[in-house]
Amino acid sequence: MKTLKYLKLPVLALAMLASGFVAAENSAMLELANARGCFICHAVVPDEKREGLPLGPSYDEVALRYRGDEKAFDRILDRVIHGTAYRQQAWEGKVAMRFMPPNVNLTRDEAAALTDWILGLDVEPELASKLVRHDNMMALATYSGCTICHGLDPVKDRRVVPLAPAFREIAAEYAGRSHAKDRLVQAITEGTLGSGSKTWENVNMRFMPPSVNVKREDAEALVDWILALDTHGIQRRPTAPKRN
Ligand code: HEC
Ligand code: HEC
Protein backbone atom coordinates (compact mmCIF):
# COMPACT_ATOMS: atom_id res chain seq x y z
CA MET A 1 0.00 0.00 0.00
CA LYS A 2 1.01 3.63 -0.19
CA THR A 3 3.43 5.59 1.86
CA LEU A 4 2.37 8.40 4.13
CA LYS A 5 3.46 11.25 1.88
CA TYR A 6 0.22 13.13 1.73
CA LEU A 7 -0.57 12.99 5.35
CA LYS A 8 -3.50 14.98 6.56
CA LEU A 9 -4.26 13.09 9.70
CA PRO A 10 -2.28 14.51 12.59
CA VAL A 11 0.59 12.24 13.56
CA LEU A 12 -0.87 11.81 17.01
CA ALA A 13 -4.14 10.66 15.53
CA LEU A 14 -2.30 8.12 13.42
CA ALA A 15 -0.35 6.88 16.40
CA MET A 16 -3.63 6.47 18.25
CA LEU A 17 -5.16 4.69 15.31
CA ALA A 18 -2.22 2.39 15.02
CA SER A 19 -2.49 1.60 18.68
CA GLY A 20 -6.04 0.44 18.33
CA PHE A 21 -8.01 3.63 18.72
CA VAL A 22 -10.09 5.05 15.96
CA ALA A 23 -9.04 8.67 16.23
CA ALA A 24 -11.49 11.45 16.81
CA GLU A 25 -11.61 12.80 13.26
CA ASN A 26 -11.86 9.39 11.70
CA SER A 27 -14.41 8.34 14.21
CA ALA A 28 -16.58 11.41 13.61
CA MET A 29 -16.28 11.05 9.84
CA LEU A 30 -16.93 7.31 9.90
CA GLU A 31 -20.03 7.89 11.91
CA LEU A 32 -21.22 10.71 9.68
CA ALA A 33 -20.61 8.67 6.53
CA ASN A 34 -22.43 5.78 8.15
CA ALA A 35 -25.36 7.92 9.25
CA ARG A 36 -25.69 9.38 5.75
CA GLY A 37 -25.68 5.97 4.10
CA CYS A 38 -22.35 6.28 2.27
CA PHE A 39 -21.26 2.80 3.42
CA ILE A 40 -24.16 1.21 1.62
CA CYS A 41 -21.99 1.64 -1.48
CA HIS A 42 -18.52 2.63 -0.26
CA ALA A 43 -15.87 1.27 2.07
CA VAL A 44 -12.90 3.18 3.46
CA VAL A 45 -10.42 0.66 2.12
CA PRO A 46 -11.00 -2.09 -0.45
CA ASP A 47 -11.98 -5.33 1.18
CA GLU A 48 -9.57 -7.87 -0.29
CA LYS A 49 -11.84 -10.78 0.53
CA ARG A 50 -14.70 -9.30 -1.41
CA GLU A 51 -15.92 -11.21 -4.47
CA GLY A 52 -17.06 -9.17 -7.46
CA LEU A 53 -17.02 -5.43 -7.88
CA PRO A 54 -17.99 -3.12 -5.04
CA LEU A 55 -20.91 -0.76 -5.64
CA GLY A 56 -18.71 2.33 -5.37
CA PRO A 57 -14.95 3.02 -5.14
CA SER A 58 -13.29 2.77 -1.73
CA TYR A 59 -12.37 6.11 -0.20
CA ASP A 60 -8.75 5.10 -0.05
CA GLU A 61 -8.75 4.61 -3.85
CA VAL A 62 -10.51 7.95 -4.33
CA ALA A 63 -7.81 9.68 -2.25
CA LEU A 64 -5.05 7.97 -4.22
CA ARG A 65 -6.56 8.87 -7.56
CA TYR A 66 -6.86 12.61 -6.88
CA ARG A 67 -3.69 12.99 -4.84
CA GLY A 68 -1.85 16.17 -5.77
CA ASP A 69 -4.80 17.43 -7.84
CA GLU A 70 -5.45 20.83 -6.30
CA LYS A 71 -8.76 21.32 -8.02
CA ALA A 72 -10.14 17.97 -6.92
CA PHE A 73 -11.88 19.27 -3.81
CA ASP A 74 -14.44 21.48 -5.59
CA ARG A 75 -15.10 18.92 -8.28
CA ILE A 76 -15.56 16.02 -5.90
CA LEU A 77 -17.62 18.10 -3.47
CA ASP A 78 -20.00 18.86 -6.31
CA ARG A 79 -20.30 15.15 -7.13
CA VAL A 80 -20.84 14.16 -3.52
CA ILE A 81 -23.71 16.65 -3.29
CA HIS A 82 -25.32 16.24 -6.72
CA GLY A 83 -24.35 12.68 -7.60
CA THR A 84 -22.70 11.62 -10.83
CA ALA A 85 -25.60 10.57 -13.08
CA TYR A 86 -25.07 13.34 -15.59
CA ARG A 87 -21.38 12.92 -16.14
CA GLN A 88 -19.11 10.43 -17.72
CA GLN A 89 -18.43 7.59 -15.39
CA ALA A 90 -15.22 8.12 -13.45
CA TRP A 91 -14.87 4.56 -12.11
CA GLU A 92 -16.01 2.56 -15.11
CA GLY A 93 -15.03 -1.10 -14.90
CA LYS A 94 -14.03 -0.76 -11.25
CA VAL A 95 -17.45 -0.44 -9.67
CA ALA A 96 -20.79 -2.19 -10.07
CA MET A 97 -22.95 0.94 -10.21
CA ARG A 98 -23.03 3.25 -13.18
CA PHE A 99 -23.42 6.43 -11.10
CA MET A 100 -23.79 7.75 -7.57
CA PRO A 101 -27.25 9.16 -6.83
CA PRO A 102 -27.38 12.67 -5.32
CA ASN A 103 -26.84 12.57 -1.55
CA VAL A 104 -29.88 14.63 -0.67
CA ASN A 105 -29.70 13.95 3.06
CA LEU A 106 -26.40 15.78 3.43
CA THR A 107 -25.81 19.45 4.35
CA ARG A 108 -23.18 21.33 2.37
CA ASP A 109 -20.94 21.51 5.43
CA GLU A 110 -21.20 17.78 5.96
CA ALA A 111 -20.44 17.13 2.30
CA ALA A 112 -17.39 19.42 2.53
CA ALA A 113 -16.14 17.73 5.70
CA LEU A 114 -16.56 14.26 4.19
CA THR A 115 -14.91 15.26 0.91
CA ASP A 116 -11.97 16.82 2.73
CA TRP A 117 -11.56 13.74 4.91
CA ILE A 118 -11.82 11.32 1.97
CA LEU A 119 -9.32 13.20 -0.19
CA GLY A 120 -6.85 13.36 2.70
CA LEU A 121 -6.98 9.67 3.57
CA ASP A 122 -3.78 7.70 3.51
CA VAL A 123 -4.01 4.42 5.17
CA GLU A 124 -1.28 2.05 6.30
CA PRO A 125 -1.96 -1.67 5.85
CA GLU A 126 -2.27 -2.34 9.57
CA LEU A 127 -4.62 0.54 9.99
CA ALA A 128 -6.42 -0.48 6.82
CA SER A 129 -7.33 -3.85 8.24
CA LYS A 130 -8.74 -2.16 11.33
CA LEU A 131 -10.74 0.24 9.23
CA VAL A 132 -12.03 -2.61 7.06
CA ARG A 133 -13.24 -4.33 10.17
CA HIS A 134 -14.72 -1.12 11.54
CA ASP A 135 -16.41 -0.43 8.20
CA ASN A 136 -17.79 -3.91 7.93
CA MET A 137 -19.07 -3.84 11.47
CA MET A 138 -20.65 -0.40 11.05
CA ALA A 139 -22.30 -1.69 7.90
CA LEU A 140 -23.40 -4.90 9.63
CA ALA A 141 -24.81 -2.88 12.54
CA THR A 142 -26.70 -0.76 10.02
CA TYR A 143 -28.01 -3.69 7.97
CA SER A 144 -28.97 -5.45 11.18
CA GLY A 145 -31.03 -2.45 12.28
CA CYS A 146 -28.95 -1.76 15.40
CA THR A 147 -28.28 1.85 14.46
CA ILE A 148 -31.99 2.62 14.47
CA CYS A 149 -31.61 2.69 18.25
CA HIS A 150 -27.89 2.68 19.02
CA GLY A 151 -25.24 5.27 18.21
CA LEU A 152 -21.51 4.66 18.27
CA ASP A 153 -20.85 7.62 20.56
CA PRO A 154 -23.01 8.89 23.41
CA VAL A 155 -25.22 11.86 22.54
CA LYS A 156 -23.41 15.06 23.42
CA ASP A 157 -26.45 17.02 24.63
CA ARG A 158 -27.06 15.88 28.18
CA ARG A 159 -30.75 16.87 27.97
CA VAL A 160 -31.37 14.33 25.25
CA VAL A 161 -32.31 10.90 26.48
CA PRO A 162 -31.16 8.44 23.81
CA LEU A 163 -33.24 5.48 22.72
CA ALA A 164 -30.52 3.03 23.67
CA PRO A 165 -26.99 3.04 25.13
CA ALA A 166 -24.20 4.04 22.73
CA PHE A 167 -21.88 1.23 21.68
CA ARG A 168 -18.88 2.95 23.24
CA GLU A 169 -20.75 3.25 26.54
CA ILE A 170 -21.50 -0.45 26.41
CA ALA A 171 -17.80 -1.12 25.80
CA ALA A 172 -16.86 1.06 28.78
CA GLU A 173 -19.44 -0.56 31.02
CA TYR A 174 -18.49 -4.14 30.26
CA ALA A 175 -14.71 -3.69 30.06
CA GLY A 176 -13.08 -6.45 32.06
CA ARG A 177 -16.36 -8.04 33.18
CA SER A 178 -16.45 -11.80 32.96
CA HIS A 179 -19.10 -13.42 30.76
CA ALA A 180 -19.72 -10.05 29.09
CA LYS A 181 -19.70 -11.58 25.63
CA ASP A 182 -22.21 -14.35 26.42
CA ARG A 183 -24.49 -11.94 28.15
CA LEU A 184 -24.47 -9.40 25.35
CA VAL A 185 -24.88 -11.96 22.57
CA GLN A 186 -27.87 -13.31 24.43
CA ALA A 187 -29.28 -9.81 24.92
CA ILE A 188 -29.07 -9.24 21.16
CA THR A 189 -30.50 -12.54 19.98
CA GLU A 190 -33.18 -12.92 22.64
CA GLY A 191 -33.83 -9.27 23.50
CA THR A 192 -33.82 -7.93 27.04
CA LEU A 193 -37.49 -8.14 27.99
CA GLY A 194 -37.10 -11.64 29.38
CA SER A 195 -34.45 -10.51 31.84
CA GLY A 196 -37.32 -8.90 33.75
CA SER A 197 -35.64 -5.61 34.58
CA LYS A 198 -34.14 -2.79 32.64
CA THR A 199 -30.37 -2.64 32.65
CA TRP A 200 -29.74 0.82 31.25
CA GLU A 201 -31.77 3.25 33.38
CA ASN A 202 -30.87 6.29 31.39
CA VAL A 203 -32.27 5.36 28.00
CA ASN A 204 -35.66 5.97 26.53
CA MET A 205 -36.67 2.47 25.53
CA ARG A 206 -37.57 0.03 28.24
CA PHE A 207 -36.12 -3.01 26.53
CA MET A 208 -34.33 -4.16 23.40
CA PRO A 209 -36.46 -6.35 21.15
CA PRO A 210 -34.86 -9.60 19.99
CA SER A 211 -32.89 -9.11 16.76
CA VAL A 212 -34.48 -12.16 15.17
CA ASN A 213 -32.92 -11.67 11.75
CA VAL A 214 -29.38 -11.47 13.05
CA LYS A 215 -27.38 -14.69 12.78
CA ARG A 216 -25.65 -15.83 15.93
CA GLU A 217 -22.21 -15.50 14.34
CA ASP A 218 -23.04 -11.93 13.34
CA ALA A 219 -24.23 -11.16 16.87
CA GLU A 220 -20.94 -12.54 18.18
CA ALA A 221 -18.91 -10.51 15.70
CA LEU A 222 -20.86 -7.38 16.63
CA VAL A 223 -20.26 -7.97 20.33
CA ASP A 224 -16.51 -8.57 19.77
CA TRP A 225 -16.37 -5.32 17.87
CA ILE A 226 -18.43 -3.36 20.42
CA LEU A 227 -16.33 -4.62 23.33
CA ALA A 228 -13.11 -3.68 21.49
CA LEU A 229 -14.24 -0.11 20.76
CA ASP A 230 -12.20 2.81 21.99
CA THR A 231 -13.63 3.94 25.33
CA HIS A 232 -11.28 6.84 25.76
CA GLY A 233 -13.12 9.77 27.36
CA ILE A 234 -16.40 7.89 27.72
CA GLN A 235 -18.01 8.76 31.02
CA ARG A 236 -19.87 6.13 32.92
CA ARG A 237 -23.51 7.04 33.34
CA PRO A 238 -24.65 8.49 36.66
CA THR A 239 -26.95 5.49 36.95
CA ALA A 240 -24.73 2.61 36.04
CA PRO A 241 -26.28 -0.53 34.64
CA LYS A 242 -27.31 -3.06 37.25
CA ARG A 243 -24.99 -5.98 37.66
CA ASN A 244 -26.67 -9.31 37.61
C1 HEC B 1 -26.10 4.17 -3.92
C2 HEC B 1 -24.66 4.05 -3.89
C3 HEC B 1 -23.85 5.22 -3.36
C4 HEC B 1 -24.03 5.94 -2.22
C5 HEC B 1 -25.12 5.80 -1.17
C6 HEC B 1 -22.94 6.88 -2.14
N7 HEC B 1 -22.12 6.73 -3.23
FE8 HEC B 1 -20.42 7.77 -3.62
N9 HEC B 1 -20.22 6.78 -5.38
C10 HEC B 1 -21.02 5.76 -5.85
C11 HEC B 1 -20.57 5.33 -7.14
C12 HEC B 1 -21.20 4.25 -8.00
C13 HEC B 1 -19.45 6.14 -7.47
C14 HEC B 1 -18.61 6.08 -8.75
C15 HEC B 1 -19.25 6.96 -9.81
C16 HEC B 1 -18.49 6.96 -11.12
O17 HEC B 1 -17.91 5.91 -11.48
O18 HEC B 1 -18.46 8.00 -11.79
C19 HEC B 1 -19.26 7.03 -6.33
C20 HEC B 1 -18.24 7.96 -6.25
C21 HEC B 1 -17.93 8.71 -5.11
C22 HEC B 1 -16.76 9.55 -4.97
C23 HEC B 1 -15.69 9.76 -6.03
C24 HEC B 1 -16.20 10.69 -7.09
C25 HEC B 1 -15.32 10.77 -8.30
O26 HEC B 1 -15.67 11.52 -9.22
O27 HEC B 1 -14.29 10.07 -8.38
C28 HEC B 1 -16.83 10.10 -3.71
C29 HEC B 1 -15.84 11.04 -3.07
C30 HEC B 1 -18.04 9.60 -3.09
N31 HEC B 1 -18.68 8.76 -3.96
C32 HEC B 1 -18.45 9.92 -1.80
C33 HEC B 1 -19.67 9.55 -1.26
C34 HEC B 1 -20.17 10.01 0.02
C35 HEC B 1 -19.44 10.96 0.95
C36 HEC B 1 -21.38 9.41 0.22
C37 HEC B 1 -22.34 9.57 1.38
C38 HEC B 1 -22.75 10.92 1.69
C39 HEC B 1 -21.64 8.57 -0.95
N40 HEC B 1 -20.58 8.69 -1.79
C41 HEC B 1 -22.76 7.78 -1.11
C42 HEC B 1 -22.10 5.23 -5.19
C43 HEC B 1 -22.64 5.72 -3.99
C1 HEC C 1 -35.50 -1.06 18.83
C2 HEC C 1 -34.29 -0.52 19.43
C3 HEC C 1 -33.05 -1.40 19.46
C4 HEC C 1 -32.47 -2.11 18.41
C5 HEC C 1 -32.97 -2.23 16.99
C6 HEC C 1 -31.28 -2.72 18.97
N7 HEC C 1 -31.14 -2.39 20.29
FE8 HEC C 1 -29.61 -2.96 21.50
N9 HEC C 1 -30.55 -2.07 23.09
C10 HEC C 1 -31.71 -1.33 23.01
C11 HEC C 1 -32.09 -0.91 24.35
C12 HEC C 1 -33.29 -0.07 24.72
C13 HEC C 1 -31.10 -1.42 25.23
C14 HEC C 1 -31.05 -1.27 26.74
C15 HEC C 1 -31.90 -2.37 27.38
C16 HEC C 1 -31.94 -2.29 28.87
O17 HEC C 1 -31.86 -1.18 29.45
O18 HEC C 1 -32.07 -3.35 29.51
C19 HEC C 1 -30.16 -2.15 24.39
C20 HEC C 1 -29.03 -2.80 24.88
C21 HEC C 1 -28.04 -3.36 24.10
C22 HEC C 1 -26.80 -3.92 24.59
C23 HEC C 1 -26.39 -4.00 26.06
C24 HEC C 1 -27.17 -5.12 26.75
C25 HEC C 1 -26.89 -5.18 28.24
O26 HEC C 1 -27.28 -6.21 28.82
O27 HEC C 1 -26.31 -4.25 28.81
C28 HEC C 1 -26.10 -4.36 23.49
C29 HEC C 1 -24.73 -5.03 23.47
C30 HEC C 1 -26.90 -4.07 22.33
N31 HEC C 1 -28.08 -3.48 22.73
C32 HEC C 1 -26.51 -4.33 21.03
C33 HEC C 1 -27.38 -4.27 19.92
C34 HEC C 1 -27.05 -4.75 18.61
C35 HEC C 1 -25.70 -5.32 18.19
C36 HEC C 1 -28.16 -4.55 17.83
C37 HEC C 1 -28.37 -4.94 16.38
C38 HEC C 1 -28.23 -6.35 16.07
C39 HEC C 1 -29.17 -3.91 18.67
N40 HEC C 1 -28.64 -3.77 19.92
C41 HEC C 1 -30.42 -3.51 18.23
C42 HEC C 1 -32.43 -1.04 21.88
C43 HEC C 1 -32.20 -1.59 20.62
Same-domain check for residues 152 and 212? yes
Same-domain check for residues 217 and 160? yes
Q: What percent of the chain has pLDDT over 90?
A: 49
For ligand 2, whether the C-beta of 123 sits within 6 Å is: no
Same-domain check for residues 35 and 113? yes
Q: Residue 67: give the domain boundaries.
A: 11-124
Residue 14 confidence (pLDDT): 42
Ligand 2 centroid to 232 CA: how many Å? 21
Instruction: Please report whether residue 242 resides in a domain.
Output: no
Instruction: Please report whether residue 162 resides in a domain.
Output: yes
- Tell me the average pLDDT across 86-107: 93
Residue 216 confidence (pLDDT): 95
Q: Which ligand has its closest atom nearest to the C-alpha of 170?
A: 2
**Per-residue pLDDT for 158 more than 70?**
yes
CA atoms of 226 and 57, how far apart (whole Å) = 27
Residue of 36, 41, 53, 64 best suited for mutating to test ligand 1, as the one with most atoms within 8 Å of CB: 41
Same-domain check for residues 19 and 70? yes
User: Comparing 143-147, 223-227, 235-239, which segment has the lowest mean pLDDT?
Assistant: 235-239
**Per-residue pLDDT for 3 more than 50?**
no
Among 124, 155, 174, the domain-final residue is 124
Residue 26 confidence (pLDDT): 79
Instruction: Please report whether residue 97 resides in a domain.
Output: yes
Same-domain check for residues 21 and 114? yes
Same-domain check for residues 100 and 187? no
Same-domain check for residues 80 and 27? yes
CA atoms of 22 and 90, how far apart (whole Å) = 30
Question: How far, CA to CA in Å, does 80 sit from each of 55, 74, 104, 186, 221?
Answer: 15, 10, 9, 40, 31
3-class SS of residue 124: coil
**Per-residue pLDDT for 13 more than 70?**
no
Of 125, 150, 115, 108, residue with least CA distance to 48: 125
Quick one: which atom of ligand 2 is closest to the CA of 197? 18
Q: Which ligand has its closest atom nearest to the C-alpha of 121?
A: 1
Same-domain check for residues 103 and 16? yes
Same-domain check for residues 113 and 152? no
Instruction: Please report whether residue 85 resides in a domain.
Output: yes
For ligand 1, whether the C-beta of 30 sits within 6 Å is: no
Residue 127 Ramachandran class (φ > 0 left, ψ -120 to 50 alpha, else beta): alpha
**Per-residue pLDDT for 231 more than 80?**
yes
Same-domain check for residues 106 and 152? no
Question: Letter for the amino acid at 175?
Answer: A
Q: How many domains does the chain have?
A: 2
Domain CATH code at residue 115:
1.10.760.10
Q: Which ligand has its closest atom nearest to the C-alpha of 91?
A: 1
Same-domain check for residues 177 and 214? yes
Quick one: which atom of ligand 1 is closest to the CA of 91? 17
The protein residue whose alpha carbon is closest to atom 27 in ligand 2 is: 199
Among 124, 156, 175, the domain-final residue is 124
> What stretches of the chain show up as alpha helix (H) in DSSP?
11-18, 24-35, 59-66, 72-82, 108-120, 125-143, 167-174, 180-190, 216-227
Residue 132 confidence (pLDDT): 73
For ligand 1, whether the C-beta of 139 sits within 6 Å is: no
CA atoms of 127 and 175, how far apart (whole Å) = 23
0.85 cut: is pTM over it? no
Same-domain check for residues 84 and 151? no
For ligand 1, whether the C-beta of 40 sits within 6 Å is: yes
3-class SS of residue 62: helix
Residue 241 confidence (pLDDT): 55
